A = this chain, B = another copy of it.
């Protein structure tokens, strides 16, 4: 930062005033063409660029978006980030990243820190803990301060803002229906997200699909995993208690792959005897053996749409009609179905 050139220095070297130099750099009609040429030449020589902080202070716009995500090691969130970055860059915005690590405290603190004029608005997916404990004040407070928020994936119904979601209910319904159409008779569901809004929607879709096919969900076929340590034991128990299981729909891929491994060890032929569908088109699903059929959430689209919505609102702050965009999901068929 030390040896960066400023307008003042340019002006001094040229024997002009700061304002003339400023105008010349903007090709103002007020300024003599020769002066413009001289100024721009020197600016180029020194690789001059207006200081972003000064500009922000002046225009009251940072051209920066704050992004708060629960977990950077999750492929879905990384891919959303890719989409956000892509769209933001295209429209001249930068992104500041904060990680909530699924903790309420960290989420609230990150947003508090960024809402000091560091960013123009926020894109976020709610931390697990925040959603469990139903905190919402920190969002509303920040919105009151004039920072627009766009939520994606894990959203809150009690916060008035733009949202981007997938239709979790339909996605689960479609995946389960597909298994039923395949002729599967006993389909389990494994979920790690049961306490989240999206988790409940997915469970609902699964239930509805069974009901619509005159089958009824047995709650014992819904395996809820609350802790990382429980994957193996919970899923193993499922297989032990239901030897005739022939379908699994998992709301995350660790569950799906764990089921695949256990089935494998127990001698099931996949997909002949057992069909498995996971959630999220990540590397793990593609590299699985056999490769895993999944519900794909179009993560990149979600990111692009979220960024687009936020920037649109930034350009038009008065508008109050908040939208919720639903991004279509697809099933990507691979070898486990």
Contact = CB atoms under 8 A, between A and B. Distances in A.
Contacts of A82: 72-73, 99
B146 A3 contact: yes
B72 A81 contact: yes
B96 A114 contact: no
Contact of A1 (B3, B60, B112, B289): B60
Interface in A87-141: 89, 94-99, 112-118, 120, 141
A26 interface: no
Interface residues of A, number: 58
Nearest to A94: B96
A146 B53 CA distance: 16
A53 B96 contact: no
Interface in A278-294: 282-284, 287-289
B52 A54 contact: no
Nearest to A84: B97
A52 B116 contact: yes
Contacts of A114: 94
Nearest to A46: B145
A145 B4 contact: yes
B96 A47 contact: no
A85 interface: yes
Q: Which of A1, A52, A62, A81 has the most CB of B within 10 A?
A: A1
A319 interface: no
Contacts of A1: 60-61, 117, 120, 145-147
A62 B53 contact: yes
A56 B1 CA distance: 11
A268 interface: no
Nearest to A283: B284
B284 A264 contact: no
A242 interface: no
Contacts of A200: none
A98 B118 contact: no
Interface in A34-82: 47, 49-54, 56-57, 60-62, 64, 72-73, 75, 78-79, 81-82
Contact of A64 (B96, B112, B120): B96
A297 to B, nearest CB: 14
A271 interface: no
Contacts of A60: 1
Contacts of A52: 116-118
A141 B3 contact: no
A94 B113 contact: yes
Given A53-B53, A94-B96, A287-B287, 6 more contacts: A1-B147, A64-B96, A73-B82, A82-B99, A95-B97, A254-B287
